[in-house]
Structure 1
């Protein structure tokens, strides 16, 4: 997600093809413990409660250089107005206009006109092999970029850190879901991934966005329907596969930036990502 110029190497995969799995492919799949639920976040709690610090970090600010790498216009806060439980089993991540008097420092301009939230499970929960599922409604509209994604825990500098974008819905494409991988020689506009279409805008209904992370194989799906699979032979060089490691989860709603462009008069704010649950299956740690 965090250098999300529109990928130019997106490889479209039809739903019919996604259902075809060879015997050789099946043999590569990990042991049955990939279906073992080892961590979940169901977001039960009182309205206005912040998500548990046992599992979630809240990143704040707007980076001094290039606005989180993408010239983004939001200032991330740890305020309940931007991330909190709703009291009915959901986590809300909300982008909104910043108070005029706030004067939140921003790049490339002096003051961020928007606030939002960016939550991560770094150093708290991660997946090695298995499946991540996030059931959510994602906000849509010009200038918005809600993202569900992962970063590697290998300690390397991005892009060698490795990034898996589980789901991005960009700006004025409310029905299109993008799934992308970034690594040492395939990042920014050279990210490798695919896309699929929803029956209606991503904010009209909950969908389950998922990635199956297997040894030397990553598969993206929405509502159980696979739409793209990445293997080392699809990379510029097979040695640049960096995903055999623990990876943590990130949830955020960005505003503006290189990919979606700035909001306009049609953009509805506040704009909220509503997360019903997060579930990790397989192997990892928490």
Structure 2
């Protein structure tokens, strides 16, 4: 049986402190089903950890403008020739960087990351500090898993930010009927304070009937399903991936030119989380991949896994704070809950392609 050592217990206690991780803004009735908290330690040689080492993300690479006349070449985390780290994790955040360096014929190098998982409906959230300066264009957005054609297949922009327009964030959708190429895009903007110097929470709720975007829990964009069943107006009924990227220049990001003195530019992400309605979780038909039992006397949460494989486990409280996040191949393990407040918690375990969530009560 695996036991978490004292250092991990202390790490869990720190994560439980509200000042370390702020509460999520997920609507009532939603439970956490996936998260990347970017809490990895430095490597053994003292360098930032990299993604996609856990298999949760994959990189999209290449240049050519990406349909928007962008100026960067997207690399797989590091530059091949120069060994620049452009997607490193340290001090509890993922730092996506854009640098001014000629790379495969492009003027800049940066990163575009795509989740390995996809979801149909849910609440999607990121806490981030945005890069500033003329020419940068950061985004947290979604495209369909089976993407074939833009804009017919749809696009959901949870957050976009162009550096020449400080402190103004954008949320948009794109479809065949509604897109910026024909001047019919559906979008809203929100002015916030210190977008480039402080962390803010960017969230989006996507249901069968509407899409709504938030900043720090405040609703500022709504797009409703017209109910016609027409893909041209509502293609949002299939699985979508999440994306993070930092572009340079382009039709929008470079509309006022590029300030070459701002590099390296950094897009800093504290976490990315995905929630879905609890009813969907509770009604899963597949056999559970794990069993849990809370021992009140010893304050130990005991977990046993059905199959022998890699299990990714995380525990959250009902405010969305992640108290434990790690992977194991052991068949059993225990978590010391003595430092946790009394209340209801969610245990989520991803085993292969199966995700199960259970509740337990610390009483």
TM-score by length of 2: 0.61
Give me the whole-angstrom Cα distance separating, in 2, the residues matched to 1:71 and 1:188: 15
User: Retained in 1: the 8 A contact 2:177–2:232?
Assistant: no
Q: For residues 130-279 of structure 1, what are the structure 2 equivalents within 5 Å?
A: 130-189=122-181, 190-200=184-194, 202-233=195-226, 240-261=233-254, 262-265=257-260, 267-279=261-273
Work out whether 1:94 is the aligned partner of 2:92: no
Q: For residues 3-22 of structure 1, what are the structure 2 equivalents within 5 Å?
A: none
SS for the counterpart of 1:70 is coil
Q: Greater relative contact order: 1 or 2 (C-alpha under 8 angstroms, separation 6 or more)?
A: 1
- Paired residue for 1:82, among 69, 83, 86? 86
User: Retained in 2: the 8 A contact 1:232–1:238?
Assistant: no
Q: CA deviation at 1:135?
A: 0.4
Structure with a larger share of its residues in strand: 2
- Paired residue for 1:69, among 60, 67, 70? 67
Larger Rg: 2
Q: CA deviation at 1:199?
A: 1.8
SS for the counterpart of 2:109 is strand
Write the deviation string for residues 192-218 of structure 1: whole angstroms up to 9, x where unpaired.
111111023x21100010100011200
- Paired residue for 1:39, among 34, 41, 59? 34
Q: CA deviation at 1:260?
A: 2.1
User: Retained in 1: the 8 A contact 2:124–2:273?
Assistant: yes
User: Retained in 1: the 8 A contact 2:175–2:232?
Assistant: no
Partner of 1:49: 49
- Paired residue for 1:112, among 106, 114, 137? 106
Give me the whole-angstrom Cα distance separating, in 2, the residues matched to 1:239 and 1:82: 37
User: Retained in 2: the 8 A contact 1:43–1:51?
Assistant: no
Give me the whole-angstrom Cα distance separating, in 2, the residues matched to 1:95 and 1:234: 41
Q: CA deviation at 1:191?
A: 2.1
Give me the whole-angstrom Cα distance separating, in 2, the residues matched to 1:153 and 1:61: 19
User: Retained in 2: the 8 A contact 1:84–1:91?
Assistant: yes
Give me the whole-angstrom Cα distance separating, in 2, the residues matched to 1:146 and 1:234: 32
Give me the whole-angstrom Cα distance separating, in 2, the residues matched to 1:156 and 1:59: 16
- Count of matched residue pairs: 237
Q: Which runs of 5+ in 2 are unaligned?
A: 1-26, 79-83, 281-352, 356-363
TM-score by length of 1: 0.77
Q: CA deviation at 1:73?
A: 0.3
Q: CA deviation at 1:181?
A: 0.2
Q: Which runs of 5+ in 1 are unaligned?
A: 1-30, 106-110
Give me the whole-angstrom Cα distance separating, in 2, the residues matched to 1:59 and 1:137: 22
CA, structure 1 residues 212+264, in 2 after alignment: closer, same or farther (shift >3 Å)?
same
Please give the root-mean-square deviation of Cα atoms over the aligned residues, in Å. Answer: 2.3
